[in-house]
Copies of this chain bind each other. A is one copy, B any other.
Amino acid sequence: MNVAIVGTGQSKFSRDSGLQIRELAFEAYREAMKDVNLSKKDIDASIVCSAPEYDPQRSPSSGISEYLGLDPRPTFYAESICSSSTTGVRAGYGLIGSGLHDVLVIVGFQKMSELSSTEAQERMERGADIMWESPFGLTMPAGYAIHARAHMEEFGTTEEQMAKVKVKSGKYSKLNPDAVFQREVMVDEVLNSQVISSPLKFFDCCANADGASCMILAKEDKAKEITDTPVWVEGIGSATNVVSLSAREKLTGLKSAEKASQTAYEMAGISPEDVDVAEVHDCFTIAEIMAYEDLGFCEKGEGGKLIEEEQTYMGGKYPVNIDGGLLSKGHPVGATGGSQVNTIFKQLRGEGGRIQVEGAETGLVHNIGGIGTYANVIIFGR
């Protein structure tokens, strides 16, 4: 069974939207429905994705589905923290591929401004090991800082190389009107910004945001009726790592992402070099460098060199996060994966505008939950 994405959309990402979650969701849904030959009554079901406990609404899937006018059709909530909306794609692929549904809507959302940053941080920490690690200070930045240190120690990766990930992000952010931050940042600016969790500084970290994303999935025959340019889901890989960092085999990469990408490549029948454009989960600059390696865009330990050589810029061997990535777009947790898919969808349809990678045929999304606890890698083809 072939499953396609036939429409995508996202809301503007912002630090404080002033909108309710259902309004954010509607903004993304409206955009996804804009150019499709599809009426609401042909949608069979929805899946709603977010990280839990930010919004006072508990079990938000029914309310959002209702607001989009999709009741009484089934809906449920799928979650893997920051990778929730690509988990939605995996679950949606299943519902369509098994024949239960023909067309479904996946909404990812988060309203981070609902809480203070301290409260938001507390929620995030409870996604890590709540017995032995988060109570002792293992915040998200600290978890990635440990990975950064290990990577520097083992491979000689430098703070300048990490800074260059942010420089690339800033460069492309100016072309993305949906991004929270739209300005260029220089290496020195990154290096001199406030230390958050050494060696990670302010500009090495992405920011909490409000936002929503939406994807419409359809089975093959329906997809071809809905649009002339469906984008096919060709490979899905998903894996986990143990929650506790202290129990992991290594800290220089994410085993979950490595395994998920192997599964995805195998299912799609391609190799890393076949990827024309990729969106990776750059919640921190080091995360993008590790992603290069976990995805096989370079050898282990060569990620720093890859960005230094600008191989992940447009025109390089692997254009990565040319929409600005999380570092500039902001990270509305449950919406992030869908926003990545939105960018790849447009690329494969040649609708990338000023960031279009010429002739892009194969795109990849790498979406991580927690400190590498969950990983989804999805390969799309046109």
Number of this chain's copies in the complex = 2
Instruction: Give the residue of B51, B73, B130 whose beta carbon is less than 8 angstroms from that of A239.
Output: B73
In the bound complex, CA of A239 to CA of B46 (Å): 11
Task: Assess the A99–B97 pair: CB atoms within 8 A.
Answer: yes
Shortest Cβ distance from A180 into chain B, in angstroms?
24
Q: Which residues of chain B are near A79, meaning CB under 8 Å?
A: 59, 61, 76-79
Instruction: Say whether A363 faces chain B, with CB atoms less than 8 Å apart.
Output: no
> Would A62 and B374 be within 8 Å (CB), given that A77-B79, A78-B77 are in contact?
yes
Instruction: Say whether A123 faces chain B, with CB atoms less than 8 Å apart.
Output: yes
> Would A91 and B62 be within 8 Å (CB), given that A1-B98, A96-B98, A100-B97 are in contact?
no
In the bound complex, CA of A56 to CA of B53 (Å): 11
Which residues of chain A from 45 to 93 have a CB within 8 Å of any chain B CB?
Answer: 45, 51-53, 56-59, 61-63, 65-66, 71-81, 87, 90-91, 93
Task: Assess the B1–A74 pair: CB atoms within 8 A.
Answer: no
Instruction: Say whether A166 faces chain B, with CB atoms less than 8 Å apart.
Output: no
We find that the number of chain A residues with CB closer than 8 angstroms to chain B is 57
> Would A240 and B96 be within 8 Å (CB), given that A53-B58, A79-B79 are in contact?
no
* Most B-side CB within 10 Å, residue of A52, A58, A59, A239: A59
Instruction: Say whether A259 faces chain B, with CB atoms less than 8 Å apart.
Output: yes
Q: Which residues of chain B are near A90, meaning CB under 8 Å?
A: 74, 76, 95, 100
Q: Mark A255-299, 1 if CB is under 8 A from B, else 0.
A: 110011000000000000000000000000000000000000000
Q: Which residues of chain B are near A59, meaning CB under 8 Å?
A: 51-52, 79-81, 127, 369-370, 373
Instruction: Say whether A242 faces chain B, with CB atoms less than 8 Å apart.
Output: yes
Closest partner residue, chain B, to A75 (CB atom): B240
In the bound complex, CA of A241 to CA of B374 (Å): 32
Instruction: Say whether A238 faces chain B, with CB atoms less than 8 Å apart.
Output: yes
Task: Assess the A240–B71 pair: CB atoms within 8 A.
Answer: yes
Task: Assess the B240–A72 pair: CB atoms within 8 A.
Answer: yes
Q: Mark A231-242, 1 if CB is under 8 A from B, else 0.
A: 000001011111
In the bound complex, CA of A81 to CA of B63 (Å): 13
Closest partner residue, chain B, to A369 (CB atom): B59
* Most B-side CB within 10 Å, residue of A96, A99, A238: A238
Closest partner residue, chain B, to A256 (CB atom): B72
A–B pairs, 10, beta carbons within 8 Å = A53-B53, A61-B80, A63-B243, A72-B256, A74-B90, A77-B77, A77-B80, A79-B79, A94-B98, A98-B98
Binding site for B on A (CB under 8 A): 1, 3, 45, 51-53, 56-59, 61-63, 65-66, 71-81, 87, 90-91, 93-100, 123, 126-127, 129-130, 236, 238-243, 255-256, 259-260, 369-370, 373-374
